[in-house]
Amino acid sequence: MKNTPEKTDISVLGLQMLTWLAQEPERLAAFCDATGYTLDSLKSSIGEPETALAALEYLLADESLLLHFCTETGTPPGAPLQAWQRWQHGG
Q: How far is CA 81 from the centre of its chain?
A: 11
Domain boundary assignment for the chain = 5-86
pLDDT of residue 34: 97
Interval 12-42: pLDDT, tens? 999 999 999 999 999 999 999 999 999 999 9
pLDDT of residue 7: 52
pLDDT of residue 14: 93
H/E/C letters for each residue in 35-79?
HCCCHHHHHHHCCCHHHHHHHHHHHHCCHHHHHHHHHHHCCCCCH
What's 24's DSSP letter? Answer: S
Share of the chain above pLDDT 70, in %: 90
Look up the pTM and report it: 0.86
